[in-house]
Chain A
């Protein structure tokens, strides 16, 4: 186990190196740099622009600048946001909680619905419930997430049952009791969670159903039935444990998507999470922020995969991870 983890971790540095270099390359290839935008103001002098470029270290060659970034990053210094003069991880830390809240609740919704519904649909193939579940999952799989999000925003705007965006009522927030604050955030959370959760749920649900159908046809299930066990016991005690194995890998991957999977939804719903921070940084070419987010997302992906593999090893003794 230890060796396995060590081997996986050893693969991380080259991966990070490649990912960060490609990101840097792309940032460099984009027209202009962080300072360019300031030139729209005719009053700002060429000297000031040049000084700013020098100060942000934007005046070197690509290799030079990447080398400087790498050297600092290796020592744990990912620099300051150009625009806000705040350490990038402080900025990211401020948003991390909001993003985790959204993607966490979506994850809960997705798995909480996918497993039971998938199992039931698999057990009662062809029933009305199965058809409904199929419909939901096809809907979730086929509808583009951004379109779904926009539909929901429109729904909120027309019915006024839900807030159109944001994470809290920003005008009256200060007058709320702690309990009202919780309710307010939950109210804002409903629609983005549904959008994010449904699209994830659809895939897991179909997978669960398929695994269940396959498992129920296996010999050991027939044996269990022949022993005279109740359907309930057969399904949940014998079949489920076997059918859920492949989904555990998926669960690990969905952990990896915790930080970045919600980008689109965050932007559409004006959720104050990592997405808006990163997207703004990309548009304004605030290099240190973009680089740090990319590195973090990569690490998250690696860790998620690792967890997926370890979990799989834990539930299925046939798969050794030694």
Chain B
């Protein structure tokens, strides 16, 4: 069926290859096949050469399934992962890109950037000759416009968070100023140093000013580039343009005939003619479609691993183990010292004493059998997690932290030292209260419930009575972020791109909203939290990598010593792909299976 599909794709798209004045003939055969639709216009002078990977061949359609409809085609207002995966990369590109497999930054639309020694001025230079898919040049004006949109309070985008630099007297957020130098050069003037400012700039997925300025001025930017906007009307900068969006059915992408990357032999990218994203109701449906041979790539959920592995030998696909994922799982004990709006403490004072006791937290951590969790809940496919950062993080993971192997004697010793005692098999605190609390997580997630079951049994061995309280996901998030009505809570964090420590400031800083064990502190409540704040600021305040790493490593040590967030396990991450996909280089960062889509190709695309 797939051969037929490629044939049809080749035959079916011939009508859309337009004729380009002056450029190489559209749809012309090359020695690696015939791109349909063909490329248009001259190759930009500053075209980027992709050095790694195989030389592919033109043609073919890549099909994948994704749970959830894309919500918008606007790369700036997109805020859910299904939409981001579609738009950021395949359809729109940015000034600086991040190589997902090697975890290093790469040049994108910009060929160079530099900053002044004081770290307050950044200058970016765009590649020469870049154009949008409609043939208009990509210029500094487009970046000026897009930046203006991002920091406009009337436009809702999480990207603005990356540029916010404090507030002025009136309480309004302050942002760096943008300066256009010439058509290809622009400059940002910062109000304060931000060592990762170029990453923030890398998250600007610029949109063409010539197309959308009118809508923005009319106050309709939110409604520009919706999924029912005629797709031919959306100029893009990525390897593909949007050809069709059929809500709850599919998205069709087709080659951007003016894309600006070439392979190392000078063949213009992308190799693929088309990409089809099937919208499916859930991960089960995505799995079924892959198993039936309808799709080419799949992020394998743990529950689908075994059926796929069993048939791997006879199937036309490979399942690859990418090792521990970026998603951490942890348990926090609520240390919130604040009073609720009714003037009552969020956590009973008796429990506050337990949870704020370092020995208590360390004992709990020692009492949890992480290998047991991995064995029973994850079918052995995972590893214990000790550090704040997952081992998936190549640059920032550190193994030099305190570890908490399953050790009940050690746990009991720690508790005795803190004045706790065991009476009739029950753990009593120094004031003679029985240690009993609830642990909450979201009911929909059976893995998390399974982890709590193991933990509950483990804690019982210490004489701690822990109750499992599953709640709907939205309730859990509300508890975590605002009502704070929980004792212990189990959840996980994912990673941002790039997975840099500064991205964790919401979690690490004592003032952060996701500093989950005691958020939004006006001043750090403890010495170690104060020290962690200082270390994160130190990490974010310099570009000296050695110094950054040193500060971060120290922070990780404090974090593991104090156990404010008891790190549990990381699950291994698996993806599957058809054997006929070339340059299939899955990575742990989203979009995991096809982050290098412009390079991917079908090995059996029709020979020239």
CA distance A44 to B507 in the complex (A): 11
Instruction: Report yes or no: B247 in contact with A94, Cβ–Cβ below 8 A.
Output: yes
In the complex, identify which listed stretch (A100-108, A167-175, A201-209, A312-320) lies at the interface while the others stay far away.
A167-175
Q: If the complex has contacts A84-B72, A86-B226, are A166 and B8 also in contact, measured as CB distance less than 8 A? A: no
The contact string, 1 if C-beta is below 8 Å from chain A, for chain B 476-499, is 011011000000000001101000
Contact for A44 among B5, B12, B161, CB less than 8 A: B161
Chain A residues, Cβ within 8 Å of B250: 170
Interface residues of A in 39-56 (CB under 8 A from B): 39-49, 51-52, 55
B276 engages A171 (CB within 8 Å): yes
Q: Does A164 reach chain B (CB closer than 8 Å)?
A: yes
Asked whether A45 lies within 8 Å of B280 as measured between CB atoms, the reply is: no
Assess the A280–B161 pair: CB atoms within 8 A. Answer: no
Q: Which residue of A lies closest to B159 (CB)?
A: A48
Whether the Cβ atoms of B477 and A37 lie closer than 8 Å is yes
List of B residues within 8 angstroms of A95 by Cβ: 247-248
Q: Known: A86-B227, A174-B12, A272-B248. Is A48-B158 also a contact (CB below 8 A)?
A: yes
Contact at B493–A42, with CB atoms within 8 Å? yes
Instruction: List the one stretch of B113-121, B378-386, B467-475 in contact with chain A.
Output: B467-475
Q: What residue of chain B has the Cβ atom nearest to residue A32's Cβ? A: B474
Tell me, in angstroms, the Cα distance from A178 to B192 when the chains sit together.
61
B interface: dominant SS: mixed
**A272 interface neighbour in B223, B247, B474, B514, Cβ under 8 Å:** B247
Q: Smallest CB-CB separation from B505: which chain A residue?
A: A43
The reply on A127 being an interface residue by CB < 8 A is: no
B481 touches A39 (CB 8 A): yes
Q: Is B458 an interface residue when CB atoms closer than 8 A count as contact?
A: no
CB-based contact A272/B246 at 8 Å: yes
Across the interface, do A171 and B63 meet the contact criterion of CB distance under 8 Å?
yes
Of residues 243 to 280 in B, which have CB atoms within 8 Å of A's CB atoms? 246-250, 252, 276, 278, 280
CB-CB < 8 A to A84: which residues of B?
69, 71-72, 226-227
**Pair B506/A171 contact, Cβ less than 8 Å:** no
Are the C-beta atoms of A52 and B477 separated by less than 8 Å?
Answer: no
Which residue from B222, B252, B478 sits with its C-beta under 8 Å from A85? B222
Q: Which of A169-195 contact B (CB under 8 A)?
A: 170-172, 174-175
Q: What is the chain B residue whose CB lies nearest that of A91?
A: B247
For residue B568, give the distance in angstroms from its CB to the closest CB of chain A: 16
Q: Given A31-B472, A171-B276: A45 and B161 within 8 A (CB)?
A: yes
B173: chain A residues within 8 A (beta carbon): 47
| B285 touches which of A47, A51, A168, A270 (Cβ 8 Å) | A270
The answer to whether B161 and A166 touch across the interface, beta carbons within 8 angstroms, is no
Q: Tell me which residues across on chain A come within 8 A of B158, comparing CB atoms.
A: 38, 41, 43-44, 48
Interchain CB contact under 8 A, B249 and A170: yes
Q: Are the C-beta atoms of A43 and B496 separated by less than 8 Å?
A: yes
A36 touches B71 (CB 8 A): no
Interface-centre pick from B153, B278, B493, B513 (highest chain A CB count, 10 A): B513
CB-based nearest B residue for A90? B228
| Interface bracket on A | 35 or more
Task: Say yes or no: is A83 at the interface (Cβ < 8 Å to chain B).
Answer: yes
Interface set, chain A 76-104, CB cutoff 8 A to B? 80, 83-86, 90-91, 94-95
- CB within 8 Å of A: which of B64-81? 69, 71-72, 77, 79-80
A295 at the interface (CB under 8 A from B): no
**Contacting residues, chain A, for B480 (C-beta < 8 A):** 39
- A165 interface residue per 8 A CB criterion: yes
CB distance from B369 to the nearest CB of A (A): 27
Least distance between A95 CB and chain B CB atoms (Å): 8
Chain B contacts for A45, CB-based, 8 A? 161, 164, 506, 513
Contact between A42 and B226 (Cβ–Cβ < 8 Å)? no
Q: How far is the CB of B71 from chain A (nearest CB, A)?
A: 5
Select from chain B the residue with minimum beta-carbon distance to A164: B288
A49 to chain B, nearest CB (A): 8
B249 close to A167 (CB less than 8 A): yes
B8, A172: Cβ atoms under 8 Å? yes
Taking a contact as CB atoms under 8 Å apart, the answer to whether A31 and B474 are in contact is: yes
Contacts A45-B513, A175-B8; is A36 near B477 (CB within 8 Å)? Answer: yes
CB–CB A272/B71 < 8 A: no
Nearest chain A residue, comparing its CB with the CB of B503: A43
Chain B, Cβ-Cβ closest to A51 = B156
In angstroms, Cα B5 to Cα A186, docked, is 21
**How close is B65's CB to chain A, nearest CB, in angstroms?**
10
A280 to B247, CA, bound (A): 12
Measured between beta carbons, the chain B residues less than 8 angstroms from A168 are 249
Q: Which residues of B contact A157 (CB under 8 A)?
A: 288, 292
User: A95 to B77, alpha carbons, bound, how many Å?
Assistant: 24
Does B32 have its Cβ within 8 Å of any Cβ on chain A? Answer: no
Interface residues of A (CB under 8 A from B): 30-33, 36-49, 51-52, 55, 80, 83-86, 90-91, 94-95, 157, 164-168, 170-172, 174-175, 267, 270, 272, 276-277, 280, 285
- Name 22 interchain pairs, CB-CB below 8 A, sorted by A: A31-B474, A32-B472, A36-B477, A37-B473, A37-B477, A42-B493, A42-B506, A44-B506, A48-B156, A48-B160, A49-B481, A51-B153, A84-B69, A84-B72, A85-B223, A86-B226, A91-B247, A94-B228, A157-B288, A164-B288, A166-B249, A170-B278
Q: A37-B477, A172-B4 are in contact. List 12 more A-B contacts (CB 8 A).
A: A36-B474, A36-B478, A37-B474, A45-B161, A47-B164, A85-B72, A90-B228, A164-B292, A170-B246, A170-B276, A171-B294, A272-B248
